[in-house]
Structure 1
Amino acid sequence: MTRISARYLGKRLVVSYLTLLVIMSLLFVLIRSMPGSFIGSMITPELDQDDIMRLRETWGLNEPLWRQYVDFMINYQTGQFGRSPTYKEPVWDVIIRRLPRTMILFGGAFIAQFIVGPLVGMYLGWWRGTRKDKSIFTTSLAIYSMPAFWISWLFIWLFNYELGWFPSTYMFTKFANFEWTTMSIIVDVLKHITLPLFSIAVVSWVGAMLVMRPAMNNVTSEDYVFLAQAKGLSERTVMIKHAARNALIPVATQAIVGVAFLLDGSVIIENVFSWPGLGQVIVSSVLSRDYPVSQAAFFMLAVLIILLRLLTDIAYTYLDPRIKFGGDS
Structure 2
Amino acid sequence: MSLLFVLLRSMPGSFITSMISSGMTNEQIQQIRETWGLNEPLWRQYIDFMINYQTGNFGRSPTYNAPVADLMIRRMPRTLVLFGATFLIGFIIGPLVGMYLGWWRGSKKDKSIFSTSLLLYSMPSFWISWLFIWVFNYELGWLPSAYMFTQFPEFQWTAFTVMRDVLYHIALPIMSLTFIGWVGSMLIMRPTMNQVTDEGYVFLAHAKGLSERTVMIKHAARNALIPVATGAVVGLAFLIDGSIIIENVFNWPGMGQIIVTSVLNRDFPVAQATFFLLAVLVVIMRLVTDVVYTYLDPRIKFGEGE
TM range (shorter): over 0.9
Q: Distance in 1 between matches of 2:284 and 2:141?
A: 41
Q: Distance in 2 between matches of 1:72 and 1:323?
A: 39
**Where in structure 2 are the equivalents of 1:1-329 lying within 5 Å?**
24-309=1-286, 312=289, 316=293, 319-322=296-299
Query: Contact 1:114–1:205 (CA<8 Å) still a contact in 2?
Result: yes
Query: Contact 2:233–2:282 (CA<8 Å) still a contact in 1?
Result: no
Cα displacement string for residues 114-164 of structure 1 (whole angstroms, at most 9, x for unaligned residues): 110011001000001111101100110110111111110110011111111
Q: Structure 2 vs 1, CA of residues 108 and 314 (structure 1 numbering), >3 Å: closer, same or farther?
A: closer
Q: Structure 2 vs 1, CA of residues 320 and 167 (structure 1 numbering), >3 Å: closer, same or farther?
A: same
Give the SS at the match of 1:45: coil
Q: Where does structure 1 lack aligned partners over 5 or more consecutive residues?
A: 1-23
Amino acid at match of 1:119: L
Structural RMSD (CA): 2.2
Query: Contact 2:225–2:296 (CA<8 Å) still a contact in 1?
Result: no
Q: CA deviation at 1:219?
A: 1.4
Q: Distance in 2 between matches of 1:107 and 1:313?
A: 19
Q: CA deviation at 1:302?
A: 2.3
Query: Contact 1:172–1:189 (CA<8 Å) still a contact in 2?
Result: yes
TM-score (norm 1): 0.87
Q: Where does structure 2 lack aligned partners over 5 or more consecutive residues?
A: none
Cα displacement string for residues 62-95 of structure 1 (whole angstroms, at most 9, x for unaligned residues): 1111111121122122211111111111111111
Q: Distance in 2 between matches of 1:273 and 1:122?
A: 33
**Mean CA deviation greater in 149-158 or 293-302:** 293-302
Q: Structure 2 vs 1, CA of residues 96 and 25 (structure 1 numbering), >3 Å: closer, same or farther?
A: same
Give the SS at the match of 1:241: helix
Q: CA deviation at 1:313?
A: 5.4
Query: Contact 2:293–2:300 (CA<8 Å) still a contact in 1?
Result: yes
Query: Contact 1:152–1:272 (CA<8 Å) still a contact in 2?
Result: yes
Q: Distance in 2 between matches of 1:317 and 1:118?
A: 18
**Mean CA deviation greater in 248-257 or 91-100:** 248-257
Q: CA deviation at 1:247?
A: 1.6
**Mean CA deviation greater in 183-192 or 227-236:** 227-236
Cα displacement string for residues 20-79 of structure 1 (whole angstroms, at most 9, x for unaligned residues): xxxx12111111111111011111234322111111111010111111112112212221
Q: How many residues align?
A: 306
Q: CA deviation at 1:240?
A: 1.5
Q: CA deviation at 1:184?
A: 1.8
Q: CA deviation at 1:176?
A: 1.1
Q: CA deviation at 1:226?
A: 1.5
Q: Distance in 2 between matches of 1:245 and 1:75?
A: 44
Amino acid at match of 1:125: G
Q: CA deviation at 1:188?
A: 1.2
